[in-house]
């Protein structure tokens, strides 16, 4: 059974993952508005991936006999200064999520909650991948600078992204 402290922390993470999905959807809208359809596509997929994260925590809390409490999701920003700016904001957000996951791991350790610890290992690995992929795009955008053709090449590449189904935490 989940402790009430862990249940509260996991519910808070459900909200944070929902916010991630919402944020990336807002970024998708921004990118489409500035005619970067490939970027927009990438963020749409990212938003869907975050919903998979939501459901992993959601199902886990229920599987442990806990109570899911859904709370209000903060409104994300609607605009960013540039394509680079939007990806820099995404990277900052992923780093924030990594730190949240780290705190959850510490709590699971402190409580000797091995099942939650096992679930969180999936997220620890996922965050390494997510930070790395966003960081690569930030670096590519910095290299592209103000060269429109380079930006369009990145846009075309990001437009190829497909949704990767999440594998089990087990
Ligand atoms: Fe981006 O990994 Fe969940 O939030």
Is 146's pLDDT higher than 90?
no
The answer for residues whose C-beta is within 8 angstroms of residue 112's C-beta and 6 or more apart is none
Which ligand 1 atom is the nearest neighbour of the CA of 17?
A: 4
Element (H, E) at 58: helix 37-63
Query: Using 50, 70 and 90 to split pLDDT, how confident is the model at 166?
Result: low
Q: Which atom of ligand 1 is nearest to the CA of 21?
A: 4
Of the pLDDT bands very low, low, confident and very high (cuts 50, 70, 90), residue 1 is: confident
Contacts of 91 (CB under 8 A, 6+ apart): 131, 134, 135, 138
Q: How many residues does the chain have?
A: 170
pTM: 0.94
Question: Which residue's C-alpha comes closest to atom 4 of ligand 1?
Answer: 17
| Position 170 confidence tier, pLDDT thresholds 50, 70, 90 | very low
Ligand 1 midpoint to CA 147 (Å):
31
């Amino acid at each position: 059974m989940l402790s009430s402290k862990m249940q509260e922390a996991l519910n808070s993470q459900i909200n944070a993952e929902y916010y991630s999905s919402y944020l990336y959807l807002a970024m998708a809208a921004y990118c489409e508005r500035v005619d970067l359809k490939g970027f927009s596509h990438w963020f749409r997929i990212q938003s869907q991936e975050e919903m998979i994260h939501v459901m992993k925590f959601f199902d886990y809390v229920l599987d442990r006999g806990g109570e899911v409490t859904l709370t209000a999701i903060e409104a994300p920003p609607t605009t960013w200064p540039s394509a680079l700016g939007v990806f820099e904001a995404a990277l900052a957000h992923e780093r924030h999520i990594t730190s949240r996951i780290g705190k959850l791991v510490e709590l699971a350790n402190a409580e000797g909650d091995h099942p939650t610890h096992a679930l969180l290992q999936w997220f620890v690995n996922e965050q390494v991948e997510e930070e790395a992929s966003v960081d690569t795009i930030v670096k590519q955008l910095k290299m592209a600078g103000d060269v429109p053709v380079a930006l369009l090449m990145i846009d075309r590449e990001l437009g190829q992204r497909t949704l990767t189904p999440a594998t089990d935490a087990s």
